[in-house]
Amino acid sequence: MSGPWCGGARSLPVAGFGSLAECLRAAAPDFVVTAVPRAANPRVIAEAVELGLPVLAETPPANDLDGLRTLAAGKSGLVQVAEQYLLMPSHAARLAAVRSGIIGTPTQVQVSSTQQYHAMCLIRGLLGVGHDEPAVVRAVRTVAPLLNPLDRGGWTGNTEPEPAVTTIATLDFGAGRSAVYDFTSNQTRNLLRFRRLLVRGTHGELHDNAIVHMPAPETIARTELVRRQSGHDLDLNGFDTETITLDGEVVYRNPYVGQRFNDDEVATATLLDAMAAWVRGDGPPPYPLIEGAQDQRLALAVEEAAESGREVKTTA
């Protein structure tokens, strides 16, 4: 495949086309998934939209605020964003638990696991903050040594700590809703840092997989989100996630049991199926452009606040 938005020709076990127009003539796809460098993403999205082709756009849909506004001003109804984090089994179960009302109305989310727009998706989703709601953002950065044993390429072989940047931000959405963003460079892959997720509510709190709440007067209870993972010990069904339960009730059921997908693969497959259903008119839009754009807008605000040392106020 080659073209103005491709890095060059390479051999692939699938059909290749020199342009989207050529692809449309030859293959008539139902939709296109953009998996290109961040800087190229807006051009590919715009080209597909001009051809009338629905798009599932890689995250983030644009690199900067001007790019986001340009995309949003176009025919954005054809564009969905490939934001999968709330579709991961563990996060989907947490979201279901929060929405069940077990901790009351959520008032604060703290995320220390993933970067930028992905974290903003978790924050907004768990808090119930819409894409059109403003935020006040404050942020700081610190640098400290950290061993980096794993990265995108796998084991690094590093034996000495290197400087790692930690960004900590607070986001105030008003109406008593707030968030704390805490991310250290490469934290998504550096297993020497725990992943942490906290949701505080009016009647309790969710911390990773544990929930403390008040089910009756003068009664404090603690319960857990429990994953049914087959394949351990003498469970011969094969290694797979089956369900996640809360007090015996299923809050998440894996639709791909038997495929042995990891959590990210489950989320990606769920997103692709949802995109296909939406294109056919059989389901809701999986993650509209305006939602992905707002996640990136908040991520950019965190970076701006950390770099400038000043408070940043966002608008829709």
Q: How far apart are CA 288 and CA 279, in angstroms?
A: 13
* pLDDT for position 59: 93
pLDDT at residue 28 is higher than 60: yes
pLDDT at residue 15 is higher than 60: yes
CATH code of the domain made up of 86-261: 3.30.360
Tens digit of each residue's pLDDT (9 = 90 or more) over 144-190: 999 999 998 999 999 999 999 999 999 999 999 999 999 999 999 99
* pLDDT for position 219: 97
> What is residue 284's DSSP assignment?
-
What is the rounded end-to-end Cα distance, in angstroms, of the chain?
37
pLDDT at residue 10 is higher than 80: no
Tens digit of each residue's pLDDT (9 = 90 or more) over 193-232: 999 999 999 999 999 999 999 999 999 999 999 999 999 8
Domain boundaries, the chain: 1-82, 86-261
CATH architecture of the domain with range 1-82: 3-Layer(aba) Sandwich (3.40)
Q: 296: burial class by Cβ within 10 Å (0-12, 13-18, 19+)?
A: buried
- Do the domains spanning 1-82 and 86-261 agree at the CATH topology level? no
Tens digit of each residue's pLDDT (9 = 90 or more) over 272-290: 999 999 999 999 999 999 9
Q: How far apart are CA 83 and CA 79, in angstroms?
A: 12
Task: Identify any residues that bridge with 140 across adjacent strands, giving them in sequence order.
Answer: 168
